[in-house]
Amino acid sequence: MKNFLSVQDSLPVQSLIETALSYKAHPLKDHTLGKGKRIGLLFLNPSMRTRLSTQIAAQNLGMDALVFNVGQDGWALEFEEEAIMSGTTVEHVKEAAPILGNYFDVLGIRTFPSLKNKEEDYHELYINQFVKYCGIPVVSLESATVHPLQSLTDLITITETFREKRKPKIVLTWAPHVKALPQCVANSFSEWVIQWGQADFVIAHPEDYELNSRFTQGATITHNQEEALKDADFVYVKNWSTYTDYGRIYCNDPGWMLTLKKLESTRQAKVMHCLPVRRNVELSDEVLDSRHSLVTRQAANRVWAAQAVISEILKS
Protein backbone atom coordinates (compact mmCIF):
# COMPACT_ATOMS: atom_id res chain seq x y z
CA MET A 1 0.00 0.00 0.00
CA LYS A 2 1.53 3.31 -1.11
CA ASN A 3 -1.09 5.77 0.15
CA PHE A 4 -4.39 5.26 1.99
CA LEU A 5 -6.83 7.77 0.52
CA SER A 6 -9.90 5.68 -0.31
CA VAL A 7 -11.20 2.14 -0.62
CA GLN A 8 -9.35 1.89 -3.96
CA ASP A 9 -6.06 1.77 -2.01
CA SER A 10 -7.37 -0.96 0.25
CA LEU A 11 -8.37 -3.88 -1.94
CA PRO A 12 -9.23 -6.57 -1.09
CA VAL A 13 -11.17 -5.05 1.81
CA GLN A 14 -11.61 -8.39 3.58
CA SER A 15 -7.87 -8.84 3.91
CA LEU A 16 -7.46 -5.46 5.62
CA ILE A 17 -10.34 -6.30 7.99
CA GLU A 18 -8.59 -9.54 8.93
CA THR A 19 -5.29 -7.75 9.50
CA ALA A 20 -7.06 -5.28 11.78
CA LEU A 21 -8.76 -8.06 13.75
CA SER A 22 -5.42 -9.83 14.16
CA TYR A 23 -4.05 -6.63 15.74
CA LYS A 24 -7.07 -6.46 18.00
CA ALA A 25 -6.21 -9.98 19.23
CA HIS A 26 -2.47 -9.25 19.50
CA PRO A 27 -1.87 -5.46 19.61
CA LEU A 28 1.92 -5.66 20.04
CA LYS A 29 2.70 -8.53 17.67
CA ASP A 30 4.54 -6.13 15.30
CA HIS A 31 5.91 -3.80 17.95
CA THR A 32 9.25 -3.37 16.13
CA LEU A 33 7.87 -2.94 12.58
CA GLY A 34 8.04 0.86 12.78
CA LYS A 35 11.14 1.15 14.97
CA GLY A 36 13.11 4.30 14.12
CA LYS A 37 10.26 5.68 11.99
CA ARG A 38 7.98 8.68 12.54
CA ILE A 39 4.43 9.45 11.50
CA GLY A 40 3.27 13.08 11.38
CA LEU A 41 -0.44 13.64 12.03
CA LEU A 42 -1.65 16.95 10.59
CA PHE A 43 -5.05 18.28 11.57
CA LEU A 44 -6.60 21.16 9.69
CA ASN A 45 -9.78 20.49 11.72
CA PRO A 46 -10.74 19.19 15.18
CA SER A 47 -10.64 15.50 16.10
CA MET A 48 -10.69 13.24 19.14
CA ARG A 49 -10.99 9.63 17.93
CA THR A 50 -8.86 9.86 14.80
CA ARG A 51 -6.07 11.76 16.52
CA LEU A 52 -5.77 9.48 19.57
CA SER A 53 -6.43 6.12 17.90
CA THR A 54 -3.86 6.78 15.16
CA GLN A 55 -1.24 7.76 17.75
CA ILE A 56 -1.91 4.56 19.73
CA ALA A 57 -1.79 2.48 16.53
CA ALA A 58 1.58 3.96 15.56
CA GLN A 59 2.95 3.40 19.05
CA ASN A 60 1.81 -0.25 18.94
CA LEU A 61 3.99 -0.62 15.82
CA GLY A 62 6.99 1.01 17.54
CA MET A 63 6.71 4.33 15.66
CA ASP A 64 6.92 7.84 17.03
CA ALA A 65 3.76 9.84 16.33
CA LEU A 66 3.81 13.64 16.32
CA VAL A 67 0.61 15.67 16.09
CA PHE A 68 0.53 19.10 14.45
CA ASN A 69 -2.72 21.09 14.64
CA VAL A 70 -2.12 23.06 11.46
CA GLY A 71 -5.49 24.78 11.61
CA GLN A 72 -4.79 26.06 15.12
CA ASP A 73 -0.99 26.36 15.49
CA GLY A 74 0.45 26.45 11.98
CA TRP A 75 0.83 29.11 9.30
CA ALA A 76 -2.23 29.47 7.08
CA LEU A 77 -1.49 27.24 4.08
CA GLU A 78 -2.01 28.05 0.41
CA PHE A 79 -2.94 25.14 -1.87
CA GLU A 80 -3.67 26.78 -5.25
CA GLU A 81 -1.01 26.55 -7.95
CA GLU A 82 0.35 29.93 -9.10
CA ALA A 83 -1.44 31.73 -6.25
CA ILE A 84 -0.51 35.37 -5.64
CA MET A 85 -0.19 35.15 -1.88
CA SER A 86 -1.18 38.70 -0.98
CA GLY A 87 -4.15 37.57 1.18
CA THR A 88 -4.36 35.58 4.41
CA THR A 89 -2.31 32.51 3.46
CA VAL A 90 1.30 32.60 4.62
CA GLU A 91 2.96 29.38 3.45
CA HIS A 92 2.48 27.35 0.25
CA VAL A 93 1.99 23.61 0.39
CA LYS A 94 4.86 23.41 -2.15
CA GLU A 95 7.25 24.37 0.66
CA ALA A 96 5.37 22.87 3.62
CA ALA A 97 4.76 19.38 2.20
CA PRO A 98 8.36 18.49 1.22
CA ILE A 99 9.60 19.79 4.58
CA LEU A 100 7.17 17.44 6.34
CA GLY A 101 8.29 14.73 3.94
CA ASN A 102 11.79 15.18 5.32
CA TYR A 103 10.72 15.13 8.95
CA PHE A 104 8.49 12.06 8.68
CA ASP A 105 8.25 8.60 7.07
CA VAL A 106 4.44 8.64 6.82
CA LEU A 107 2.06 11.62 6.86
CA GLY A 108 -1.54 11.47 8.10
CA ILE A 109 -3.73 14.42 7.12
CA ARG A 110 -7.22 15.53 8.12
CA THR A 111 -8.94 18.12 5.98
CA PHE A 112 -12.59 19.06 5.61
CA PRO A 113 -14.67 20.30 2.68
CA SER A 114 -15.64 23.96 2.31
CA LEU A 115 -19.22 22.84 1.48
CA LYS A 116 -19.30 25.96 -0.73
CA ASN A 117 -17.57 24.79 -3.91
CA LYS A 118 -18.51 21.26 -4.98
CA GLU A 119 -15.94 21.05 -7.78
CA GLU A 120 -13.09 22.06 -5.50
CA ASP A 121 -14.14 19.77 -2.67
CA TYR A 122 -14.71 16.75 -4.92
CA HIS A 123 -11.30 17.29 -6.58
CA GLU A 124 -9.76 16.85 -3.11
CA LEU A 125 -7.32 19.72 -3.67
CA TYR A 126 -5.86 19.79 -0.13
CA ILE A 127 -4.96 16.15 0.36
CA ASN A 128 -3.91 15.71 -3.28
CA GLN A 129 -1.47 18.63 -3.02
CA PHE A 130 0.15 16.97 0.00
CA VAL A 131 0.39 13.68 -1.92
CA LYS A 132 1.92 15.54 -4.88
CA TYR A 133 4.55 17.45 -2.92
CA CYS A 134 5.45 15.54 0.28
CA GLY A 135 7.21 12.54 -1.31
CA ILE A 136 6.17 10.06 1.41
CA PRO A 137 3.07 7.87 1.90
CA VAL A 138 -0.07 9.77 2.91
CA VAL A 139 -2.89 8.41 5.10
CA SER A 140 -6.26 10.15 4.93
CA LEU A 141 -7.51 10.97 8.40
CA GLU A 142 -10.68 12.22 6.62
CA SER A 143 -10.66 14.39 3.54
CA ALA A 144 -13.20 16.57 1.76
CA THR A 145 -15.24 13.64 0.43
CA VAL A 146 -14.31 10.42 2.27
CA HIS A 147 -13.31 9.04 5.67
CA PRO A 148 -11.71 5.68 4.86
CA LEU A 149 -10.28 4.90 8.32
CA GLN A 150 -13.79 5.30 9.73
CA SER A 151 -15.29 3.02 7.08
CA LEU A 152 -12.67 0.33 7.62
CA THR A 153 -13.48 0.52 11.35
CA ASP A 154 -17.18 0.19 10.58
CA LEU A 155 -16.64 -3.00 8.59
CA ILE A 156 -14.35 -4.41 11.30
CA THR A 157 -17.16 -3.79 13.80
CA ILE A 158 -19.80 -5.38 11.57
CA THR A 159 -17.58 -8.40 10.88
CA GLU A 160 -16.88 -9.11 14.53
CA THR A 161 -20.49 -8.70 15.67
CA PHE A 162 -22.37 -10.56 12.91
CA ARG A 163 -22.12 -14.29 13.41
CA GLU A 164 -24.85 -15.67 11.14
CA LYS A 165 -24.19 -17.66 7.97
CA ARG A 166 -25.99 -15.23 5.66
CA LYS A 167 -25.40 -11.74 4.36
CA PRO A 168 -26.33 -9.00 6.85
CA LYS A 169 -28.78 -6.31 5.82
CA ILE A 170 -27.09 -2.95 6.41
CA VAL A 171 -29.06 0.30 6.28
CA LEU A 172 -27.43 3.71 6.07
CA THR A 173 -30.02 6.23 7.15
CA TRP A 174 -29.88 10.02 7.01
CA ALA A 175 -30.67 11.82 10.30
CA PRO A 176 -31.43 15.45 11.14
CA HIS A 177 -28.72 17.81 12.40
CA VAL A 178 -28.39 21.46 13.36
CA LYS A 179 -25.49 22.17 10.96
CA ALA A 180 -24.69 21.44 7.33
CA LEU A 181 -22.28 18.49 7.53
CA PRO A 182 -20.03 16.94 4.86
CA GLN A 183 -21.03 13.85 2.88
CA CYS A 184 -17.68 12.17 3.72
CA VAL A 185 -18.80 9.46 6.15
CA ALA A 186 -21.85 8.50 4.09
CA ASN A 187 -19.90 8.47 0.79
CA SER A 188 -17.16 6.42 2.30
CA PHE A 189 -19.35 3.95 4.20
CA SER A 190 -21.33 3.33 1.03
CA GLU A 191 -18.34 2.69 -1.21
CA TRP A 192 -16.66 0.43 1.36
CA VAL A 193 -19.79 -1.69 1.94
CA ILE A 194 -20.28 -2.04 -1.83
CA GLN A 195 -16.63 -2.97 -2.46
CA TRP A 196 -16.71 -5.44 0.45
CA GLY A 197 -19.64 -7.08 -1.33
CA GLN A 198 -20.84 -9.15 1.62
CA ALA A 199 -24.07 -7.36 2.58
CA ASP A 200 -27.48 -6.33 1.31
CA PHE A 201 -27.11 -2.56 1.41
CA VAL A 202 -29.88 0.05 1.56
CA ILE A 203 -29.54 3.83 1.81
CA ALA A 204 -32.53 5.80 3.15
CA HIS A 205 -32.74 9.58 2.98
CA PRO A 206 -35.30 12.33 2.36
CA GLU A 207 -35.75 13.66 -1.18
CA ASP A 208 -32.96 16.02 -2.32
CA TYR A 209 -30.28 14.26 -0.21
CA GLU A 210 -28.98 12.02 -3.03
CA LEU A 211 -25.27 11.32 -2.64
CA ASN A 212 -22.85 11.39 -5.57
CA SER A 213 -23.70 8.20 -7.49
CA ARG A 214 -19.98 7.41 -7.79
CA PHE A 215 -20.18 6.21 -4.18
CA THR A 216 -23.58 4.51 -4.18
CA GLN A 217 -23.75 2.37 -7.33
CA GLY A 218 -24.89 -1.07 -6.17
CA ALA A 219 -26.94 0.18 -3.20
CA THR A 220 -30.74 0.21 -3.00
CA ILE A 221 -31.82 3.81 -2.42
CA THR A 222 -35.17 4.80 -0.90
CA HIS A 223 -36.89 7.82 0.62
CA ASN A 224 -38.91 5.56 2.92
CA GLN A 225 -37.01 5.01 6.16
CA GLU A 226 -39.64 2.71 7.65
CA GLU A 227 -39.48 0.37 4.66
CA ALA A 228 -35.67 0.43 4.67
CA LEU A 229 -35.43 -0.55 8.34
CA LYS A 230 -37.48 -3.73 7.92
CA ASP A 231 -35.31 -6.79 8.80
CA ALA A 232 -32.15 -4.70 9.12
CA ASP A 233 -29.22 -6.21 11.02
CA PHE A 234 -27.24 -2.96 11.20
CA VAL A 235 -28.50 0.63 11.06
CA TYR A 236 -25.84 3.27 10.41
CA VAL A 237 -27.13 6.71 11.33
CA LYS A 238 -25.54 9.81 9.81
CA ASN A 239 -26.48 13.30 8.75
CA TRP A 240 -25.16 14.83 5.57
CA SER A 241 -25.92 18.06 3.72
CA THR A 242 -27.25 18.13 0.17
CA TYR A 243 -24.91 17.10 -2.63
CA THR A 244 -26.78 18.23 -5.75
CA ASP A 245 -27.51 21.79 -4.59
CA TYR A 246 -24.29 21.63 -2.68
CA GLY A 247 -23.83 21.94 1.10
CA ARG A 248 -27.35 22.94 2.13
CA ILE A 249 -29.98 21.83 4.62
CA TYR A 250 -33.31 21.26 2.84
CA CYS A 251 -35.24 19.03 5.19
CA ASN A 252 -34.53 18.76 8.89
CA ASP A 253 -37.55 16.64 9.73
CA PRO A 254 -37.14 15.36 13.33
CA GLY A 255 -39.21 12.38 12.20
CA TRP A 256 -35.99 10.98 10.69
CA MET A 257 -34.30 10.65 14.12
CA LEU A 258 -33.77 6.96 14.96
CA THR A 259 -35.80 5.76 17.97
CA LEU A 260 -36.32 2.42 19.74
CA LYS A 261 -39.83 2.21 18.28
CA LYS A 262 -38.38 2.29 14.76
CA LEU A 263 -36.05 -0.59 15.60
CA GLU A 264 -38.98 -2.92 16.29
CA SER A 265 -39.24 -3.95 12.63
CA THR A 266 -35.51 -4.79 12.45
CA ARG A 267 -33.75 -8.02 13.40
CA GLN A 268 -32.72 -6.55 16.76
CA ALA A 269 -30.49 -4.30 14.70
CA LYS A 270 -27.21 -2.97 15.98
CA VAL A 271 -26.97 0.80 15.67
CA MET A 272 -23.84 2.55 14.46
CA HIS A 273 -22.61 6.14 14.24
CA CYS A 274 -19.10 7.50 13.62
CA LEU A 275 -19.37 10.06 16.50
CA PRO A 276 -19.51 12.75 17.68
CA VAL A 277 -23.31 12.43 17.79
CA ARG A 278 -25.96 15.02 18.65
CA ARG A 279 -28.14 13.19 21.19
CA ASN A 280 -31.87 13.51 20.70
CA VAL A 281 -31.32 15.14 17.31
CA GLU A 282 -29.70 12.36 15.24
CA LEU A 283 -30.27 9.50 17.69
CA SER A 284 -32.42 9.30 20.80
CA ASP A 285 -30.95 8.70 24.26
CA GLU A 286 -32.93 5.48 24.51
CA VAL A 287 -31.15 4.05 21.45
CA LEU A 288 -27.67 5.27 22.36
CA ASP A 289 -28.00 3.94 25.90
CA SER A 290 -29.49 0.59 24.82
CA ARG A 291 -27.98 -2.78 23.95
CA HIS A 292 -28.53 -1.90 20.28
CA SER A 293 -25.75 0.68 20.28
CA LEU A 294 -22.30 -0.18 18.92
CA VAL A 295 -20.97 3.38 18.88
CA THR A 296 -18.32 3.12 21.58
CA ARG A 297 -17.16 -0.27 20.28
CA GLN A 298 -16.82 1.31 16.84
CA ALA A 299 -14.71 4.14 18.25
CA ALA A 300 -12.51 1.66 20.13
CA ASN A 301 -11.93 -0.26 16.88
CA ARG A 302 -10.43 2.85 15.27
CA VAL A 303 -7.07 1.77 16.73
CA TRP A 304 -7.05 -1.54 14.82
CA ALA A 305 -8.07 0.05 11.55
CA ALA A 306 -5.25 2.58 11.80
CA GLN A 307 -2.78 -0.09 12.86
CA ALA A 308 -3.68 -2.31 9.88
CA VAL A 309 -3.26 0.59 7.44
CA ILE A 310 0.03 1.88 8.86
CA SER A 311 1.45 -1.64 8.99
CA GLU A 312 0.56 -2.23 5.31
CA ILE A 313 2.34 1.01 4.39
CA LEU A 314 5.41 0.11 6.46
CA LYS A 315 5.56 -3.38 4.95
CA SER A 316 5.46 -2.06 1.40
Nearer to ligand CP, 268 or 296 (CB): 296
C-beta of 141: minimal distance to ligand CP in Å?
7
**Which listed range, 47-55, 93-101, 114-122, 213-221, lies at the site for ligand CP (CB under 6 A)?**
47-55
Per-residue binding string, ligand CP, 171-210, x by CB under 6 A, is ----------------------------------------
Q: Decide if 147 contacts 184 (C-beta within 8 A).
A: yes
C-beta of 52: minimal distance to ligand CP in Å?
8
How many chain residues interact with ligand CP (CB under 6 A)? 8
Q: Does 275 bind ligand CP (CB under 6 A)?
A: yes
58, 65, 274, 310: which one binds ligand CP (CB under 6 A): 274
Nearer to ligand CP, 260 or 275 (CB): 275
C-beta of 70: minimal distance to ligand CP in Å?
15
Nearer to ligand CP, 50 or 145 (CB): 50
C-beta of 133: minimal distance to ligand CP in Å?
25
DSSP state, 245? T
47, 55, 195, 239: which one binds ligand CP (CB under 6 A): 47
DSSP letters, the chain, are ---BSSGGGS-SHHHHHHHHHHHHH-TTTTTTTTTT-EEEEEESS--SHHHHHHHHHHHHTT-EEEEE-HHHHSPPEE-STT----SS--EEHHHHHHHHHHH-SEEEEE----SS-HHHHHTTHHHHHHHHHH-S-EEESS-SS--HHHHHHHHHHHHHH--SSSPPEEEEEE---SS---SHHHHHHHHHHHHH--SEEEEE--TT-PPPHHHHBTBEEES-HHHHHTT-SEEEEE----TTTTT------GGGSB-TGGGGGSSS-EEE--S---BTTTB-HHHHTSTTB-HHHHHHHHHHHHHHHHHHHHH-
Smallest CA-to-CA distance from 67 within 104, 33, 30 is with 104
**Which listed range, 48-56, 63-71, 174-182, 243-251, lies at the site for ligand CP (CB under 6 A)?**
48-56
Nearer to ligand CP, 147 or 169 (CB): 147
Per-residue binding string, ligand CP, 231-270, x by CB under 6 A, is ----------------------------------------
Relative orientation angle of helices 295-315 and 13-25, to the nearest 10 degrees = 110
Binding residues for ligand CP restricted to 133-162, rule: CB under 6 A: 142, 150
C-beta of 268: minimal distance to ligand CP in Å?
25
Per-residue binding string, ligand CP, 85-124, x by CB under 6 A, is ----------------------------------------
Q: Decide if 100 contacts 42 (C-beta within 8 A).
A: yes
3, 6, 10, 50: which one binds ligand CP (CB under 6 A): 50
Binding site for ligand CP (CB under 6 A): 47-50, 142, 150, 274-275
